[in-house]
Every structure is written in C-alpha cells, then in structure tokens.
Amino acid sequence: MSKGKQFNDQTKMINDFLQPVEPEVSAFVKGLSPQHFGSRILLHDHLGLPDLGKVQLALVGVADSRGAGRSDSADLIRLRKELYTLFFGNWDCTIADLGNIEQGASLEDTYFALNQTASFLLKKKIVLIVLGGSQDLTYPLYRAYDHSGKMVNLVSVDSRFDFGRADLPVSSDSYLTKIIMEEPNNLLGFSNIGYQVYYNAQEEVDLIEKLFFDAYRLGEVGSDITLVEPVLRDADIVSVDFFSVQSVYTGNFSKFVPNGFTGKEICALARYAGISDRVSVLGLFNTDGNLSSEAVLQSQIIWYFIEGYCCRYKEFPETEINNFLKYIVSLADDEELVFYKSEFSQRWWMQVVYDKAKENKSANFTLLPCRYEDYVEASQGIYPERWWKAQKKYLAIQ
C-alpha cells in the first residue's frame, strides 16, 4: 500500500470516528463577532472535516465516562459555547474543532476510536486537546505513540496516583497500572503534580520512588508553582483530573474537594504545558456534565494552553547549543555538573551523563529541563534532586 493511499484511508477512518459539532453549536457561532474564538477556528460541521493542512491545534470531544463508572459525560455544547465566546488572543496559529467521538458500543471501542484519531493527528504534528470523558482515556492516548519511535513522558495533574490491580479492567482510578505493566512499554517517565498524601497508600508513594517517577505534593506546588515548569517542559502528554481542583472553583460539590488547585493555579499549569515545545496532547478529564461553572473554568484552561502554545520558543538545546550559555559547576570527587541557559527564554537545562564508560568529552548524555535554583544548589556543592533521580533511572536501565 502506498503512503498516499494509507494516509487517505486513515483520513477516512477518523472521519468515520468523528461526529460534527452539534447543530446548536454551529448556529451559535454565527452570532459571534469576528474577534471571538468561535469565529476564528475551523469547524467540523455538517459540511465535513476542515482542511487539516495548516492546522496546528485540534479540539476533540469524547462523550464517554464509563471508565469512572458514570453513564453521563461532559456537556460539550455548554463547554464549546463558553470557549467560543472568549476573545481570540494575539495568536498566529490555526485551530480546528474536529467535533466529537461518540460513546462506542463498548469502552474498548471508544479507546480504539480515540487512539486512532490521536495517532493520526500526532503523525500530522497537530497538538491534540481532548475534552470530556474519564481519565482512563489517558491510556489510549499513551498507546497512540506506539508507532512514533519515541519514548513518552506522561504528566498527571491529580490528587491520586491512580494505581490499581493489574488483573481488573482499566478504569479512571487504575489506568496508570496498565500503562506501566503493558507491553510494549514506551513510558520513559511519569510525573504527578498535586498529589495529596491522605488519598494515596504509603505503598503507592514508595512505588513512585522505586520506579524513579516524580511526584509533587499539592502544598509544594502551591507554595511555588514554578517548581513544576521543568516537569511540564519535558512532558509529551498532560492529563488533568478535574477533581484536582477545589470545588469552590469548579462548582462541583457532588464529590467535595476542599483542598486542591485554585482556578488561577490550574490555568498557570495549562500555560506551562502549552509553552512546552514537547507537549503534544492535553486531556481535561473527570468533569461534570451539568455545571456551567466547570465549563467556564475548562474554557479558560484551554485558552491559557493555547496562549502558551503560541508563545513556544522552539528551543532544543541538544541541536542548537550555540544559542545557549554553558555553565560548569565543580563538585566533589572531581565531578562536574554542566548547565545550559537559553539566552532567549532564560530557561535552564542540566546535563545528565548516562554512559561513563567513555571519556567525559565523548560520553552520552541527555539534557534535563531544570530551574535556576538547581544551578544555585549545585554551586553550593549539592546535587539537585532531579539530577539524582534521572541519574539513578539511567543506571537502573543499563
């Protein structure tokens, strides 16, 4: 089969999976001003899918929350109306709303449709924003990278780690176990942002450490949200559980969340995710289908993610090292830790050597996103914690 025919077959396939935006939404758009978001994006309506040739970001709704034991799902009409009435930023990007993936006959059918759609968009280098559904949809999104030839970094914004029994069906509370256990294992790293200790067994906290994953408590992030910017800078998938946000900001009191991120904090995390040159999928999951307040917050999260995307620096220090300042810090035992600082964005990376069998000058290494504070810590003779974890992970893999 030729590449052209295969591509056309894939296009037809996702066209079969994706339903147009609701007629009510299409009619709603006609009443908006030219400056509104809804007037500036391409719509999958009754005329069919828009031309994806120049599209950089795509919205896809998923009306399936069975993974969380619920028959309802997010009210995508309400969400779209809230989003479309926001004003378009000073952005130079093309955005498309590709409509909805309807609930399949089985949950596995929904997974397949989302997986194929995400895989298609990833091949076209289109950043995907998934709206609605339960957080187990992170699993088919992760599997969409299977043929990309790359390892995947997954970041979950969640009060829980979502481990579960491997012998039970995947669910919103256990999808991470399936991702870790199933072959092929393409998971390079996992990071949790905002976990709350009393929602997670000590064995789970210990397992996160044992697997060299990263986890940041809610209090840590709330005290200094810049702590997790490097984590999001290194992510491929960002999966947001809406129960990580305080009920007072979402309006969802059916499952009361007294402690969690504020509206401002969750939008800041979304902007960090958007500005990352690596993030290619954002999912907003476990939302309530009947709350206008949640739809308002979701729409603003999406807006900030797109704002971040349109401010991407397109910095890749591994290949553009001339645009970075190099700092060498001498540590104990004749060890050196190398940092790079972008002259443009002022962001920092640190070098992690993972093949010491060779001379230092030709050793294999990777550049890990970090903060200025990590450089300061190294200058004081202390190895940064992110460096230690990365080093131990690479040693364990060898």
CATH number for the domain that contains residue 134: 3.40.800.10
Q: What is the pLDDT of residue 360?
A: 45
Same domain, 328 and 200: no
Beta carbons of 141 and 154 less than 8 angstroms apart: no
Indicate the residue among 278, 309, 340 that finishes a domain. 309
Same domain, 226 and 284: yes
Does residue 212 lie in a domain region?
Answer: yes
Domain count, the chain: 2
Q: What is the pLDDT of residue 10?
A: 58
Please, which residues have CB within 8 angstroms of residue 203's CB and are 6 or more apart in sequence?
none
Strand partners, 348: 341, 370
Same domain, 228 and 334: no
Measured distance CA(379)–CA(385) in Å, rounded: 14
Q: What is the pLDDT of residue 397?
A: 63
Instruction: State the greatest distance between any 2 C-alpha atoms of the chain, in Å, as a whole number.
Output: 69
Domain limits at 357? 321-397
Does residue 72 lie in a domain region?
Answer: yes
Indicate the residue among 251, 279, 309 that finishes a domain. 309
Same domain, 105 and 23: yes
Whether the upstream peptide bond of residue 169 has omega within 30° of 0, thus cis, is no
Indicate the residue among 258, 285, 309 that finishes a domain. 309
Same domain, 61 and 163: yes
Question: Phi/psi of residue 180, each to 5°?
Answer: -70, -40
Which pLDDT tens digits describe the chain residue by residue (398 residues)?
Answer: 444 444 455 577 788 899 999 999 999 999 999 999 999 999 999 999 999 999 999 999 998 999 998 877 678 999 999 999 999 999 999 999 999 999 999 999 999 999 999 999 999 999 999 999 999 999 999 999 998 988 999 999 999 999 988 788 889 999 999 999 999 999 999 999 999 999 999 999 999 999 999 999 999 999 999 999 999 999 999 999 999 999 999 998 888 999 999 999 999 999 999 999 999 999 999 987 667 899 999 999 999 999 999 999 998 887 777 789 999 999 887 889 999 999 999 999 999 887 654 444 444 778 999 999 999 999 999 999 999 888 888 777 65
Strand partners, 349: 340, 369
Question: Phi/psi of residue 99, each to 5°?
Answer: 90, -150
Does residue 316 lie in a domain region?
Answer: no
Does residue 314 lie in a domain region?
Answer: no
Q: What is the pLDDT of residue 8?
A: 56
Same domain, 280 and 373: no
Q: What is the pLDDT of residue 359?
A: 43
Same domain, 249 and 369: no
DSSP string, 135-203: GGGHHHHHHTTTTTTS-EEEEEE-SS-----TTSPP-TTTHHHHHHHSSS--EEEEEEEEE-GGGS-HH
Same domain, 380 and 249: no
Same domain, 288 and 332: no
